[in-house]
Every structure is written in C-alpha cells, then in structure tokens.
Amino acid sequence: MRKKPRFHSLKKLKVRQDWSRWTLYSLAHQRPPNVTGRTYFQQKWTAKSNTRAYHGEQIREKKWKRLFSRNLPAVVPMDFNYLAHHDGSEQAAGRGAGADSAEKLNRPPPMTPYMQMTYYPIERRLDTAIFRSLFASSVRQARQFCVHGLVKVNGKKMPYPGYMLNPGDMFQVEPSSVMFATGAPKKRTSTARKVAKEKAAARAEAREKAPQPSAPSQPEPVPTREEPTPAELKKHMQDLMEDVENVLNEDVGAKDKQKFRAFRQTVKKAVSLWKTASPETVSTLDAQFEFLKDALDKKQAAAEPSRNEPTESTALMSPEDQQKLRQAFDKLKLETEHTSAWNKKDASAPYATPWRPRDYMSAFAFIPRYLEVNQSICAAVYLRHPVARPGLAEVPTPFHLETGQLAFNWYLRRR
Amino acid sequence: MPTRLRASNLPSTVFPCSSIRPQSIPQPARISREFSQSSCRQITQRRRKFYEWMNGPGRMLKDPLPHSTNYLGAYDKFGNLIRGTFQPKDAKDATPKAEAAEGVEGVEAKPDTSSEGQESADDLDAAVSRSEREEMQKKEDGTEEGRLVPETLEDLRPFPLNRYFRSQPVLSEELREAIYQFVKRDGHSLQLASTTFGVSNERIGAVVRLKQMEKEWIAKGKILAIPYAKAVLDMLPTTPHVKERGKRAITHEPINDLIVHPATRQQLFVPVAESRHFTRVDAGKAFDNNLLPADERIPHPELIAAEKDNIDGYSVSERQRRAQERLEAEMAEKNKKKEEKRQAELASTKTVPQRRWDFVFQDVSVDSVGRNGRDPKGVGWRYGLPHQDRKKGQVKIPTKVEA
C-alpha cells in the first residue's frame, strides 16, 4: 500500500488548520500563485489542492462538493443618515450617471472580496466553529472533542462534528478540555508519576472496599404550597442567617469550602419554598437575593395589617440581616472567582500547571465576527453565517485572493 | 555490503580533496525507518532551514507579547517587529502621522454624526485602535514605560498573503458586563442597547445569554476557565468600554448591514423617463417585485425614522414622543402576530388529557407531500415510496437543536 503522505511535510509545505510551528513556517513561506507558464487547469488544480489542505481537510472531497455553493453571501453597511436624507432619486438625476456633486469625488468603496468566501459552508460546521472560537488547537482536536461527547449545542450533547450550526446556536466545550487543548503540554515529572500511582492505588482500594450500592436517597418532596407557613419560614431564615455568619467568618480562598457549599444549599432551599420561583428565573446570585428580599417583604406586608405585630415581622429579616445577606452573596461570588482564577500547581491536571497558553498560540489567536465567545465559560454563539463586506471577507483563509478565485472556479465545474 | 577498502589500509592520500571525504554530521544515532536498524545520518536542508527560521525570525511568535497581539503580519522577513523599529520616543508625534498615512477621516472629529454612520469597517477599526492609542498615551504619561505602540491595521493580519482578512476586535470583559447590566438590570430593549453600544442586534442577544450563563455558573459554584480567558483576551484586539457618562461608546461593528439580495446581483438596464422621480423603491421593484427598499431591510429602521423627524424639525420632546409611539405600535403589531399564530396552533391541535400523558391530535393534510410525494412536510408512509434513511450516504445528523 502506498505510504500516507506526512500531515506536516517540509517537502510540500501545506498550511493546516492548527496552531503548530509547521503551519506557522508554511504561512511565513507562502507565495502568491504562479500563473505564468502554467495551464489554467494546472493553476486551478494547485489552488484547489492547497486550499483543501486547509479548509475541511477532514471532510471527504465528495462531501465538500455537495456542500459547495456558488452563491456567496455578502452585506453592505448602510448609513442611516444617507437613507433618511435621500430617497435614491438623486442617483438618477443628471446625465445618466447621477448629478455632479462634490460627494462623488469621494474614494470609491473598496472591492468586496467574494472570492475569499469559497469555503464559507465549512465554517458552519461544529468542529470548525470550535476551532475558530479558540477552544481547540486544531480542527482535528475539535472533532475529537465532539466525538468524545465534550461539546454541547444549546445545552444538549452533540456528538456529530459535522453538525451544521444555525444562526443563534450556542455551543459549549468542557472548560478542562479547553484548558488542556490550549495550554502548554505537560512534561512528565517524577512528582506527577508519583501522584498518578497514588491515585491509581487509591482507586483500586476504593473499588475493593466498595459497599453495595445503597438505595437511592428519597427525592425531596416537591413543594406544592403556594407559600410557606410562617413557622417554617422563620426556621429557614434562622438557618440561612446562621450560614451567613459562617460564610462571613470564612476567608476567601480558604481550603475548606464546606461552609460556602452549605450556604449555597440553604439559599437553594429557601428559594424553593416558594412555588413562584422556578430554577430558571432565580438562577444568578443577584436574582436569588432580589427574590428572597421581595418575597420576605411581601410576606411582611401581608402579615402586618392582619396581625399588627411589628416585632414578629421584623424578626423575619431586619435591615442589618439584609445587609449581611448581601455581603454573604458578594463573598460567595468572590470565592467562586478566586477559586477559578487560582492558577496553582496541580500534578493531576492534564496540562502544564500553572496554566499558560501553548507555544505559538498568539500567532493564530483571532476570533471572526460571526462568533461571539465567552471565554470564561468556554461557550460561544454562532451569530450568523460568515459574509463578505467591502474590503473584508469573514472566512479566515490564509490564501491569496487569486488562489481563492482559482479554487472557486475549480468547483464551478459542471455546476 | 562488504567493504573492499579498509580505511586502516589506505594511505591518507586517498582522500586528497575535501569533497570526497565522508560527510556525516556526528549526532546520536536515530533510526531512519521503523523496521530498520541503520541510522539516518542526514539533516536535510529543508529541516535545517526550518529550524533556522524557527530559532530566527519565528522566535518572537512563540510567546505572546504582553498587552498586544502577536501576528505574523506584524513582523518583517527578518523577524523584526515593524511597528517596533521606528518607534519614536514620544508617541504623540507619531500618532497623527500614522493616521494621515492611513487616510482615515476622523470618526472622532464629528462624533455626533458618524458614530452610527458606519461607512466602512476600516474606519471603525481605526477608531478602536485610535482610542486605544489615546489611552496608551495617557498611561505613558503616567507610569507605564515598556508598552508597545498599539497596532495598526497592517499588524492585525495573521495571514500575510490574504489582504482581505484581519483579526477584528472582540468585546472586552467590561463592555460585556456593561451590556448585560444595561439590558438585564436597567431593562432596556436589545435595539436600544445595539445603538447605544454600537454592537449588532444578534451580538447583544448573545452577550446577554452568555453572561447570564456565566452568572449561573458562579451561583452554582462551578469553576470557570479564568486563566484561559485572561490569556486569550490579552492576545486579541478588544473594543474597550467607555466609562465616562457624556462620551459616546466606541462603535464595535457596523450595525446597519444590508444583506445583498440574490436578485440584485445582476446588472439591469431599465430605461426610465427623465421626468420620472425614480427612487430606491422603484429600483427595488425593477429587480424583483417582492424586494423591499433598503430602508426597510436594515436592522435599525427606527434610526431612519428618528432622523427624518429631525429633518422635519420636530422638537426634542416631540421626537422622543413619536419614537416611543412608533416603538409601541411596532410591539403591538408583533404581539398581535404572535398571539394569532398561537391561536392558530391551538385551533389546529386537540388535546385529550389523560392520567400520565396527554394525547395531542394535530390536523394533517395528505396533500402536504407535494406533487412528487417527497416533500419533507408530508406525513406518514406512502405506498411505493421507500424510506431513504437506510441507504448509504444518508445524513442522519440533526439539522437543528431547540434552545
């Protein structure tokens, strides 16, 4: 069997969709296409071969041919001032080419590079979009992430790298995998080896000792009442305030996270007492705080006229308590941020720790405009299909305009 | 192969000139093929050049530049940072010159009119980099010394051969937070947020959605990828958030993009009487009967209406009132349509509640299969039309995922 050609060959320099030094080297040594002394077919063939080595190299040619579309999308930025002041008739005035005016002397709008948009359907693929949003160091790796079930589209697992994203789709990748893909690779050290061995031993021990799986804990009864009884409410409030005290006493970045966790639990319970609170509406810390405050205020307002016992109602939540609760929520937020930002040495991580970007990443780091990325949760939204606009094509392609044109012409054949 | 000549038996005169002498570079024996024991002794010229480039001109690209992008386009052939070489001591003199060279008319000079005008994307990016430069100058006056000159558009090219692509700025972290607060806390509409921040409608929606998710993660105590986020945002050009109250936000992207309609791709020659008042609407009709004029197809037609009010000489309060009225009318229309759609759906389905599940009956038509019987809207199996889904090459990847 014929030997498979090298993926990164120095003999035939090919630009690939990855962040490797070979790709960087070939990018630096690219030349515009040689059009003199070659037949048109040869030119087209070379252009096709070079561009296909970069765009969707993992897709079979036949599949790509079916994806190819000769209609290339484009937009023109409009000036609303111009639209408001003119109705377009001024362009027809004068001697056919519009009335002479000073405005006509402006420089003409730049050319719209349609020919760089040949491969725009490939940018719609999930694996390519993951690579473009800087969550993976190559398209092949992005593809692997999909196949391994690390990618979600709109909150649902999507194991198909060929899924065509629709405008408005949100995709997210497991943050630890992203840190692995974009971080510097780990060097095996003796400590790491020791840690790995200890872990394996611990796991084996746990497996041996593993008790019979106990009966699943009873799910908590869903609160069916519209509103909690005052006694219940009071008890919950006491619990909550106790946890607040605990959290306030704890330092941010403390080793023992139990108190923070307990506080989160009580807040969740306190919120779930009310039927009006669904987990979707009261999901952020601010929303939780506002909700608790409002609910208690309402309760208080309802209780006061009927019973007229100010002592009883103030016991629910005094302004000082409110202040404290606010502080506790702030502390909770700080704590999470601190834990996330804490970039410490960690032998169990699959990347070099403390985390740092991998070599040559900065030369490839750009995010095209058709994606909106939130790096801290490793999620992105595919806003729209890539478009060409005057002077700018949104498909990131490393090739010369002429190469793009030749490749486009190759695929126009028989279409 | 048995050697005929032993090196020890030969006189030294056998190798008179240096070119015949065996040329092997001493190096640890590497194996040339997996199955072979002989070592490969050559370092090819290509490989040598590769490493030369990597250790020479390519060395600067290995690690990110602090507080700056680091693309291939910013370096010359010998690996020198172009903007670094003629970096003057006082950046204040250099900035206007660079601007003049770019030939960009000031977006800044007339901030009231052109911030949302967006003639070209170049101008926008130039505005962003200019504001960055200004900020930098302020900082330079203060404390920081060793920072680089902010990059020009040339420096933002990751692919030196492609002149039509460059790395465009992304939203900075503060700007995202500001957008989220503007929409969620202050309760403004997406359209208003879009015009205020100079960010397109879709992007505003996406930013709010992603920020919401980030906050949920914080509430749940999930670990975020903050070291990664910091490193990446440091490598990318960003649009900063303008915090001063009176100042306009830096426009991130053109917000009034008109999609090129396929019907307008051809050239048309339409003879028109000179006396006729031939407007955009007529031009649209000439291309396609259903083609609306640009005024109605851009994402922010309300800006045109507001500007027209301005031209007609309404006072500020009057203009605001009219804008509010238009907004309400539009919302009412939208809600009415939504309600109608919902009612139609309700009318077409019949629900029979059961103990555990409800039975839902939906009206279907046999005719929806179309003339050749293969329309995807068709229901049920039709005699003589086998399902295609077991055939080779049939794609079963979902085409959409409900949010």
pLDDT digits (tens, 9 = 90+) for A141-182: 999 999 999 999 999 999 999 999 999 999 999 999 999 999
Q: How far apart are CA B355 and CA B341, in angstroms?
A: 29
Q: CB pairs below 8 Å between A and B: how many? A: 312
Is the domain of B102 the same as that of B47?
Answer: yes
CA A325 vs CA A263, A355, B149: distances in Å: 11, 34, 46
> pLDDT at position B113, please?
36
**Residue B380 maps to a domain:** no
Is the domain of B12 the same as that of B134?
Answer: yes
Confidence of residue B384 (pLDDT cuts 50, 70, 90): confident
Rg (CA), chain A: 30
End-of-domain residue from the set B294, B312, B346: B346
Cβ separation of A373 and B170 shorter than 8 Å?
yes
Q: Is pLDDT above 60 for B144?
A: no
Stretch among B19-33, B40-54, B104-118, B300-314 having the lowest mean pLDDT: B104-118
Q: How far apart are CA A131 and CA A126, in angstroms?
A: 9
Confidence of residue A390 (pLDDT cuts 50, 70, 90): very high
* Percent with pLDDT over 90 in chain A: 51
Cβ separation of A401 and B272 shorter than 8 Å?
no
Is the domain of B27 the same as that of B87?
Answer: yes
Is the domain of B152 the same as that of B56?
Answer: yes
B253 touches chain A (CB under 8 A): yes
- The CATH fold assigned to A4-73+113-183+381-413 is 3.10.290
For chain B, the average pLDDT equals 80
Is the domain of B74 the same as that of B148?
Answer: yes
Cβ separation of B121 and A389 shorter than 8 Å?
yes
Q: Is pLDDT above 70 for A46?
A: yes
Question: Are B64 and B231 a contacting pair, CB within 8 Å?
Answer: yes
Confidence of residue B37 (pLDDT cuts 50, 70, 90): low
* Percent with pLDDT over 70 in chain B: 74
Range(s) of the domain holding residue B14 = 3-156
**Residue B257 maps to a domain:** no
Q: ipTM of the predicted structure?
A: 0.85
Is the domain of B124 the same as that of B186?
Answer: no
Answer with the residue of higher pLDDT: A99 or B103. Answer: A99
End-of-domain residue from the set B127, B156, B185: B156
Q: Where are the domains of chain A?
A: 4-73+113-183+381-413, 193-208+229-303
A79 touches chain B (CB under 8 A): yes
CA dihedral A385, A390, A394, A396 (to 10 degrees): 150
**Residue B220 maps to a domain:** yes
A352 touches chain B (CB under 8 A): no
Torsion angles phi and psi, residue A159, rounded to 5: -85, 5
Residue A233, exposed/middle/buried by CB under 10 A (0-12, 13-18, 19+)?
Answer: buried
Cβ separation of A391 and B228 shorter than 8 Å?
no
Is the domain of B10 the same as that of B147?
Answer: yes
Instruction: Find the mean pLDDT for residues B64-88.
Output: 83
Q: Is pLDDT above 90 for A225?
A: no
User: DSSP 3-state assignment of A24?
Assistant: helix
Confidence of residue A42 (pLDDT cuts 50, 70, 90): very high
End-of-domain residue from the set B316, B346, B376: B346
Tally of domains in chain B = 3
Q: How far apart are CA A197 and CA A202, in angstroms?
A: 9
Is the domain of B137 the same as that of B210?
Answer: no
Question: Are B226 and A376 a contacting pair, CB within 8 Å?
Answer: yes
B82 touches chain A (CB under 8 A): no
Q: How far apart are CA A229 and CA A244, in angstroms?
A: 22
Cβ separation of A366 and B217 shorter than 8 Å?
no
Write down the pTM of the prediction.
0.81
Residues of B in contact with A286 (CB under 8 A): 215
Confidence of residue A273 (pLDDT cuts 50, 70, 90): confident
Stretch among A336-340, B23-27, B149-153, B322-326 having the lowest mean pLDDT: B23-27
Is the domain of B194 the same as that of B302?
Answer: no
> pLDDT at position B357, please?
93
A318 touches chain B (CB under 8 A): no
**Chain B interface test: which of A19, A70, A377 (most B C-beta within 10 Å):** A377
**Chain B interface test: which of A116, A171, A340 (most B C-beta within 10 Å):** A340
Instruction: Find the mean pLDDT for residues B168-196.
Output: 94
The amino acid that residue A321 corresponds to is D
Cβ separation of A175 and B224 shorter than 8 Å?
yes
Question: Is the backbone peptide bond immediately before A279 cis, with ω within 30 degrees of 0?
Answer: no
Q: How far apart are CA B293 and CA B312, in angstroms?
A: 21
Cβ separation of A11 and B46 shorter than 8 Å?
yes
Q: Minimal Cα distance from B77: which residue of A?
A: A28
**Residue B106 maps to a domain:** yes
Is the domain of B22 the same as that of B149?
Answer: yes
Q: Minimal Cα distance from A335: which residue of B?
A: B221
Query: What's the gap in Å between the CA of B1 and the closest CA on chain A?
Result: 27
